[in-house]
């Protein structure tokens, strides 16, 4: 995996650690009164996103993970750091349709309305060619990165509790959705993540207004996680970006300030003030195809 290619600079400023505008403690980003549900949050980027929402004073943060011991430990640690936020850790395999149905049934039964859904869990695939993986291996990636993500999205959007209230969907994506050269050894990762993100983009572009459900799709950056360790990288492999970047960006994305990027694909390290101002801001307002997936040479014609 070529992490250098993951650093695409659109804004003049490219951040490697958090900065004031996306700082979760900034009053304008307060998540008070909201319940936040985060998948894949027992460790890594998902855990840091949960921590940021705790810092932003969400009423409740529900973190999901498959391993009972890890999700329990993560919830306990976040609870210690909390200043009033209720942190709940639930074991749930979001790749299982049965488990997801049970999860949303449980939430509805408890009278819990989810205001912010962060889709962070993903199938990263295996280092084999498409033909080596075969139909079964390829479809497993699509099943998780497309079907399972849409399943969570549909249930989130169609909640009976709080019908009519503005919802925020945050999708942790990857530059591999369009830069396939970056992950050639993990072909199903980029291909299936592209399809999953494109599904959300289509909804945001043609079906669902930001005032109804604001959709933010973003690349988290080159963050040193367990997946990087498993891929053979070390802390010295390259200058990694701090997890506070995708974490703070997720909180910022769950506010009306991020409405200009509804349904667009962006990178967490781009400066959001520069993105929304000047020529870039003008293009966001006027070019409906800007920062959306399409065909090189044809998109927007």
Count Cα neighbours of 261 within 13 Å in the Cβ-side half-sphere.
29
3-state secondary structure (DSSP) of residue 122 = coil
Q: Which of 60, 30, 10, 2 is nearest to 274 (CA)?
A: 10
Catalytic residue among 34, 51, 57, 193: 193
Catalytic residue among 189, 192, 218, 244: 189
Q: Is 193 a catalytic residue?
A: yes
Catalytic residue among 42, 47, 51, 173: 173
Q: Which residue has the tokens 């989810």?
A: 114
Distance of CA 254 to the CA centre of its chain: 11
Q: Where are the alpha helices (DSSP H) in 56-96?
A: 68-81
- Catalogue the E-assigned strands of the chain: 35-38, 60-65, 86-91, 116-119, 167-172, 213-219, 265-267
Q: Is 277 a catalytic residue?
A: no
The residues that bridge with 87 in the sheet, in sequence order, are 61
Distance (Å, rounded) from C-alpha 284 to C-alpha 291? Answer: 8
Q: Is 189 a catalytic residue?
A: yes
Distance of CA 147 to the CA centre of its chain: 16
Residues classed as catalytic: 173, 189, 193
């Amino acid at each position: 995996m070529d992490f250098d290619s993951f650093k695409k600079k659109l804004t003049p400023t490219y951040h490697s650690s958090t900065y004031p505008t996306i700082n979760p403690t900034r009053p304008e980003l307060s998540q008070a009164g909201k319940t936040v549900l985060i998948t894949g949050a027992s460790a890594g980027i998902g855990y840091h996103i949960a921590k940021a929402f705790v810092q932003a004073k969400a009423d409740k943060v529900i973190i999901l993970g498959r391993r009972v011991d890890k999700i329990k430990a993560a919830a306990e640690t976040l609870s210690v750091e909390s200043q009033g936020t209720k942190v709940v850790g639930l074991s749930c395999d979001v790749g299982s349709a049965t488990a997801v149905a049970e999860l949303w049934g449980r939430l509805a039964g408890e009278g819990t309305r989810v205001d912010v859904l962060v889709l962070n869990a993903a199938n990263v695939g295996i280092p084999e060619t498409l033909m080596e993986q075969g139909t079964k291996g390829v479809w497993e990636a699509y099943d998780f990165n497309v079907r399972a993500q849409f399943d969570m999205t549909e249930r989130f959007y169609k909640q009976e509790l709080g019908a009519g209230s503005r919802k925020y969907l945050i999708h942790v994506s990857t530059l591999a959705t369009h830069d396939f050269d970056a992950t050639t050894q993990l072909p199903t990762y980029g291909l299936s993540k592209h399809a999953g993100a494109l599904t959300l983009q289509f909804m945001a572009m043609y079906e669902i207004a930001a005032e109804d459900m604001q959709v933010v799709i973003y690349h988290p950056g080159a963050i040193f996680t367990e997946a990087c360790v498993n891929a053979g990288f070390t802390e010295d492999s390259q200058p990694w970006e701090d997890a506070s970047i995708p974490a703070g960006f997720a909180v910022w994305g769950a506010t009306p300030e991020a409405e200009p990027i509804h349904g667009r694909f962006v990178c967490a390290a781009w400066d959001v003030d520069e993105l929304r101002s000047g020529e870039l801001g003008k293009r966001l307002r006027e070019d409906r195809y800007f920062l959306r997936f399409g065909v090189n040479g044809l998109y927007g014609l």
